[in-house]
Amino acid sequence: MQAFLSPSSIIDFTHPQVAARAAQLRVSSACGNFSAVATARACFEFVRDHIPHSNDIRSDAVTLKASEALAQGTGWCFAKSHLLAALLRANGLPAALCYQRLQKDEKGAYTLHGFNAVYLPEHGWYRCDARGNKNGVDAQFTPSVEQLAFNITEPGERDFPGLYAEPLPDVVTCLTQCRSREQVYVNLPDATSLDAAV
């Protein structure tokens, strides 16, 4: 469990801005005790609603680290999941990265999609997707009912059950090497390595 509570170069919750935002999102109950569910919901809703998905707003800002997504105010699903993991871990809540394989376009291309899981004492590991809602996407934080951004509906799509403490190398490579929204879209990683491991 310690791996899901630790900071890293990408899930950098020791960064002053990330730490400050995490503290602002911390919620206590009426009697003053820390509320894990309410804090997790506040972190989730902040990332979902206040850090727009870069492709939705057609932003060329390419972010990877949690601190970058917070500072730039945008990120692809992967960067948003890194930020959510950082905010949760900063509040002492174990947080993991999760992945799906989704159809990217009508030409038959596929891509990974990144989201999160948080460990809540009352519910265990609960998966949530702060990608950002839009027409056809309605992700919610309603433990213990899972409501992700995307359902697996097309042949070739996969829902990977693994919990990852750090982002996949292919994700890091894409967000490190690409310099624009179009470059990221063209180079979004597929799930080949995850498929081989399952």
Q: What is the mean pLDDT of residues 134-162?
A: 96
Could you read off the pLDDT of 83-142 as tens digits, one per residue? 999 999 999 999 999 999 999 987 889 999 999 999 999 999 999 999 999 999 999 999
User: Which stretches does DSSP call E strand in the chain?
Assistant: 95-103, 110-120, 124-128, 140-142, 145-147, 158-164
* Inter-axis angle of helices 169-177 and 77-90, nearest 10: 110
The rounded mean pLDDT for the chain is 95
Could you read off the pLDDT of 38-53 as tens digits, one per residue? 999 999 999 999 999 9
Using the predicted structure, report yes or no on whether residue 196 has a pLDDT greater than 90.
no
Taking CA 147 as the corner, what is the angle to CA 138 and CA 47, rounded to the nearest 5 degrees?
65
Residue with the two structure tokens 């159809």: 103
Instruction: Provide, rounded to the nearest whole percent, the portion of the chain with pLDDT above 70.
Output: 97
Output the domain CATH number for residue 109. 3.10.620
190 CB burial (10 A radius; 0-12, 13-18, 19+)? middle
Range of the domain at 77: 2-197
Using the predicted structure, report yes or no on whether residue 191 has a pLDDT greater than 90.
no
Q: Encoding tokens for residue 120? A: 């809540």
Number of domains in the chain: 1
pLDDT of residue 195: 61
Using the predicted structure, report yes or no on whether residue 30 has a pLDDT greater than 60.
yes
